[in-house]
Amino acid sequence: MGRDRQTTVLFAGMTGSEELYQSAGDVRAMDAIARCLEAFRQAAEESGGRVVKTMGEEIMALFPNAGAAADAAARMQGAAESLAELGGATGLGARVAFHSGPVLQHDNDIFGDSVNIAARLVEQATRGQVLTTAETVELLGPLMRNSTRRLYDITVKGKEEPIALCEYLWRKSPDITDFSALSAVLKAPRAGVRLKYRGKDFIRRRREEAITIGRDVACQLVVADAKASRQHCVIERRGQKFILRDHSTNGTYVEVEGEEEIVLRREELPLRKHGWISFGQPRADTPDVVEYFCE
């Protein structure tokens, strides 16, 4: 087993492959996946990294520093989108995560806490998203650091303390605050969301604060439903919107007043108007419901 070495570990995986196999057939789907993996490899190498191994539809790569990994992550996301637009990987998307820290190298593989944390992060990422840790953000240059935002804490097996999760904003989006226009945003009226659960109100208006909901006592809003996951979902602010992101095993059910109830499974949804959120089962089947009001 080799000595500890400081590095940055990156995982990049695909989304949408199951649907692609069904819609395009095995041969075309396999070709599209191979093209996407090759694009990931090229992006890693162009940013000064190297691919350690490929695991099905996912790669693990090493970089000399966090900035190089962030650059590679943006290249990978851009490459996946370009392939989809050109029809070379229709329906496929990328989810990427990276973390800096010591690793152990043995033969051609790497091991250790840093690898485990990066692997846990990529499980949390959704299509088009790049995740990292607050610890790694501190190692980025000023420009890249200003293009990150704090999300919420997650637990990692074998770690006593929760890990602070951050998102690297690799591109600008209508749903994402433009940091160059931050002063204008601060002058705009602050949107708010009010949550009502078991007779208690929870109000959030601060720009950077996320609300974690679940059975874990560390969550900002703790729910009692047995079908809820420990960290079931998160409500985060993006610009003037509040986005609900599901992280659960059984799904998050959302009903906007006057509309049909929908279920999110590792997906996200902008909260609108007034409605109800239930955890792991439809609203009609449980009294354990969070009522929300977008203000």
Residue 188 predicted with pLDDT over 50: no
Q: Do 130 and 140 form a contact (C-beta atoms < 8 A)?
A: no
- Is residue 156 located within the same domain as residue 191? no
As a whole number of angstroms, the distance between CA 111 and CA 102 comes to 9
Total structural domains within the chain: 2
Is position 144 within any domain?
Answer: yes
- Quickly state the pLDDT bin for 207 (edges 50, 70, 90): very low
Tell me the per-residue pLDDT of 248-282, one tens digit each, with 9 for 90 and over: 989 999 999 999 999 999 888 999 899 999 999 99
For residue 181, being part of any structural domain is answered with no
Burial of 214 (0-12, 13-18, 19+ CB in 10 A): buried
For residue 91, the model assigns a pLDDT of 66
Tell me the pLDDT of the chain averaged across its residues: 82
161 located within any domain: yes
Q: Are residues 192 and 160 in the same domain?
A: no
The structure tokens 């095993």 sit at: 249
Q: Quote the pTM value.
A: 0.57
pLDDT band at residue 99, thresholds of 50, 70 and 90?
A: very high
287 and 164 housed in the same domain: no
Give the Cα separation of 131 and 94 in Å (integer): 12
Domain range for residue 204? 186-294
CA–CA gap between residue 244 and residue 263 (Å, rounded): 12
Q: 133, 168, 203 — which closes off a domain?
A: 168
Burial class (CB in 10 A: 0-12, 13-18, 19+), 73: buried
86 vs 175 pLDDT, higher one: 86
Out of 134, 168, 202, a domain closes at: 168
Q: How confident is the model at residue 285 (pLDDT cuts 50, 70, 90)?
A: very high
178, pLDDT greater than 70:
no
Q: Would 61 be classed as within a structural domain?
A: yes
Contact 68, 96 (CB under 8 A): no
Q: For residue 174, what pLDDT band results from cuts at 50, 70 and 90? A: very low
- Percent of the chain predicted with pLDDT > 70: 82
* Residue 87 pLDDT: 53
Q: Residue 101 and residue 115: Cα distance in Å, rounded?
A: 9
Residue 100 above 90 pLDDT?
A: yes
Question: Is the domain of 23 the same as that of 151?
Answer: yes
Least confident of 133-142, 192-201, 248-257: 192-201
168, 194, 212 — which closes off a domain? 168
Using the predicted structure, report yes or no on whether residue 3 has a pLDDT greater than 70: no
Task: Give the model confidence (pLDDT) of 212-249 as tens digits.
Answer: 899 988 888 999 999 999 989 998 877 677 889 998 98
pLDDT of 52 strictly over 60: yes
The per-residue DSSP string of the chain comes to -PPEEEEEEEEEEEESHHHHHHHH-HHHHHHHHHHHHHHHHHHHHHTT-EEEEEETTEEEEEESSHHHHHHHHHHHHHHHHHHHHTTSSTT-EEEEEEEEEEEEEETTEEESHHHHHHHHHHHH--TTEEEEEHHHHTTS-HHHHTTEEEEEEE--TT-SSPEEEEEE--S--TTS--GGGHHHHHHSPPP-EEEEETTEEEEE--TT--EEEESSTTSSEE---TTS-TT-EEEEEETTEEEEEE--SS-EEEEETTS--EEESS-EEE--SEEEEEESS-GGG-S-EEEEEE-
Q: What is the pLDDT of residue 5?
A: 61
Of 170 and 20, which is predicted with more confidence?
170
> Residue 96's Cα: distance from chain center in Å?
8
Considering the domain boundaries, does residue 175 fall inside one?
no
Q: Is the pLDDT of residue 66 over 60?
A: yes
Percent of the chain with pLDDT over 90: 36
Q: Report yes or no on 255 lying in a domain.
A: yes
And the tokens for 125? 């990422």
